[in-house]
Structure 1
Amino acid sequence: MKSLSWDDLRIFIGVARGGGLSPAAAEAGLSPATVGRRMLALEEAAGRPLFVRRQTGYALTPDGEALFQRAQAMEASARPIGEWLAAEGARPVVRISAGTWTANFFAANFSRLWTPDDNFRIAFKTTEAKLDIGHREVEIGIRNHAPESANLAARRTGEVAQAPFRARNHPRPGREDWVAIAPEDISTRSARWVAEQKGLSVVAWANTPRTLYDLIRSGVGKGVLPCFAGDRDPLLERAGEEIADLREGQWVVMHNDDRHRREVRIVIDRIVDLLTSHAPLFAGERPLGTE
């Protein structure tokens, strides 16, 4: 017999009390199909049937009743811990994985994602690397492609354009100096695109997108930025046309189970609303000074 997961036992208690999958799913913030799979796995781990499955619901077998009594005792023992956490004011945290510029945009519009009345908190995981949503490194990720894993879901929000930018007040007429991400630190399509161009005069390298931005803004040279970052800055201007090869889609990606949690669902809806309401900006259709 395998060891039994307390998370699965808590769901088991919900199924036993509610007499079916739907009440337990609503309580756990999961889909009924997921609860059903978890109960099959629990029975396999226990090595015996726990339910009699009928069209009218789930009834406990004798073994299921015995486990239910023991699980309730465990629940009662764990209750003081839950009360202690509640007394400490613990609130769930929704972790969002996003690249530098998307995280910057979210920070500038934080009031659209969270309010003081919300009973959860938000944690940004700002990185150009893709954190593993499937293994619960984060609850929500902003990605440039749809997920391929069956346990992930996604909502498309639009497209992201990129273009070269220069400092508005410090142009260097006749000069084609560039700033770029150093070859050993390349992790994005835009950085690879610049590295692949022949004949560029690169006068300075950066190891992070933020430092690259600071170099552009200081007038050191021109560099590639997402249009939604460069077009929002009054100290920057476009230094060329959109780079068509770098246009890509944008998706809000989440775990199939976690997306049913109330706080995660709220944040997902708010992120989608924020991004879609600014779709022209992300698509490069709102350069500064245009309508």
Structure 2
Amino acid sequence: MKNIVWSDLQLFLSVAREGGLSAAAREHDASPATIGRRMLALEQATGRPLFVRRQTGYELTTDGLALLAKAQTMEASARAIDDWLDAEGGRSIVRISAGTWTTNFLAENFSRLWNPDDAFRIAFKATEAKLDIAHREVEIGVRNAAPQNPNLAARRCSEVAQAPFRARTASREARDQWVAISSEDIATRSARWLSTQPGVSVAAWANTPRTLHDLIRSGVGKGVMPCFAGDRDPLLERAGDLIADLREPQWLVMHNDDRHRADVRIVIERIVDLLSAHGPLLRGERPM
């Protein structure tokens, strides 16, 4: 489509449907002379006559009919894009990637990250895997390490502590048992740490942190959780000291270009403020 722009094709569609310049001019709030010049320029760009100009109006030539069919296909595609944008209320989307525990914490404090007047929406991507921020799978990632890719930027937010937790109502037998992530599903440092500890008696395995949490809550045994998750649950209590080997920083990671987007910048600042406000909870300084 060299030298042909979509706006000219939109004018062409109007002229073709209305059979003349006047109605098309009213539709696009332009003068008939301007529409006529644009149609002449379109014919020059295509190198083909598109209209037979008569006193009664504009009639499509064979080439004009062929272009009409192609332009209508483009119009349908453009309408699908418009519908997609309208479905989101014309708002942009900021995607946040984080692990299960962090996503749960952010979702619980959603009102600190978004309000109805914002010109964007938020989409959470809860996963223990690291989505590719460099290739824009998400706009913001909450990570436990600074990125090495030069196309990525990062802000250090807070430290996160972890400890063993158990149900307050756990039986005496269950207090010595563990629940763990199964070996084929290990994706976090805490799961790997427990798998290397000697003398661990595992009562049940889970394949996700959510199921691990459910097993701990049910009194099956104790398990390793971030303090900001375990200490927020009134049904749980700590089953041991903070695990020094699992203390780690939290980083917000974003694409060097995307971090300058107004919507992404706002969400970054709000996440930083939220994590800073809950620093003692994240660092394990507020056991229930």
Normalising by structure 1, we get a TM-score of 0.69
Q: Residues 115, 174 of structure 1: CA spacing in aligned structure 2 closer, same or farther, 3 A cutoff?
A: closer
Paired residue secondary structure (2:210):
helix
CA distance, structure 2, for counterparts of residue 173 and residue 157 of structure 1:
39
Q: Which letter maps to 1:127?
A: T
CA distance, structure 1, for counterparts of residue 215 and residue 238 of structure 2:
15
- How far off is 1:90 after superposition? 2.5
- How far off is 1:104 after superposition? 0.2
Q: Which letter maps to 1:146?
A: A
The match for 1:216 is: 216
The match for 1:40 is: none
CA distance, structure 1, for counterparts of residue 137 and residue 263 of structure 2:
17
CA distance, structure 2, for counterparts of residue 179 and residue 208 of structure 1:
11
> Structure 2 matches for 1:51-200, cutoff 5 A?
89-172=89-172, 175-200=175-200
Q: Given that residues 174 and 221 in structure 2 are in contact (C-alpha distance below 8 angstroms), is that contact kept between their aligned partners in structure 1?
A: no
- Provide, for residues 30-62 of structure 1, a one-character-per-residue CA deviation record: whole Å limited to 9, x for no partner: xxxxxxxxxxxxxxxxxxxxxxxxxxxxxxxxx
CA distance, structure 2, for counterparts of residue 214 and residue 163 of structure 1:
16
Q: Which letter maps to 1:274?
A: L
Amino-acid identity (%): 72
Alignment RMSD: 2.0
CA distance, structure 1, for counterparts of residue 277 and residue 250 of structure 2:
14
Paired residue secondary structure (1:111):
helix
More moved, 80-89 vs 165-174? 80-89
Q: Residues 287, 135 of structure 1: CA spacing in aligned structure 2 closer, same or farther, 3 A cutoff?
A: same
Q: Given that residues 164 and 240 in structure 2 are in contact (C-alpha distance below 8 angstroms), is that contact kept between their aligned partners in structure 1?
A: yes
Please list every run of 5 or more consecutive structure 1 residues that lacks an aligned counterpart in the other structure: 4-76
- How far off is 1:119 after superposition? 1.3
CA distance, structure 1, for counterparts of residue 256 and residue 269 of structure 2:
15
> Structure 2 matches for 1:268-279, cutoff 5 A?
268-279=268-279
The match for 1:203 is: 203
CA distance, structure 2, for counterparts of residue 200 and residue 84 of structure 1:
56
Q: Given that residues 160 and 247 in structure 2 are in contact (C-alpha distance below 8 angstroms), is that contact kept between their aligned partners in structure 1?
A: yes
Q: Which letter maps to 2:147?
A: P
- How far off is 1:86 after superposition? 5.9
Paired residue secondary structure (1:123):
strand
Q: Residues 97, 145 of structure 1: CA spacing in aligned structure 2 closer, same or farther, 3 A cutoff?
A: same
- Provide, for residues 139-194 of structure 1, a one-character-per-residue CA deviation record: whole Å limited to 9, x for no partner: 00000011111111111111000000000122426841000000111010000111
Q: Residues 229, 84 of structure 1: CA spacing in aligned structure 2 closer, same or farther, 3 A cutoff?
A: closer
Q: Given that residues 174 and 222 in structure 2 are in contact (C-alpha distance below 8 angstroms), is that contact kept between their aligned partners in structure 1?
A: no
CA distance, structure 1, for counterparts of residue 94 and residue 174 of structure 2:
49
Higher Cα radius of gyration? 2
CA distance, structure 1, for counterparts of residue 256 and residue 212 of structure 2:
36
Q: Which letter maps to 2:125?
A: K
Please list every run of 5 or more consecutive structure 2 residues that lacks an aligned counterpart in the other structure: 3-73
CA distance, structure 1, for counterparts of residue 86 and residue 126 of structure 2:
31
Q: Given that residues 166 and 175 in structure 2 are in contact (C-alpha distance below 8 angstroms), is that contact kept between their aligned partners in structure 1?
A: no
The match for 1:9 is: none
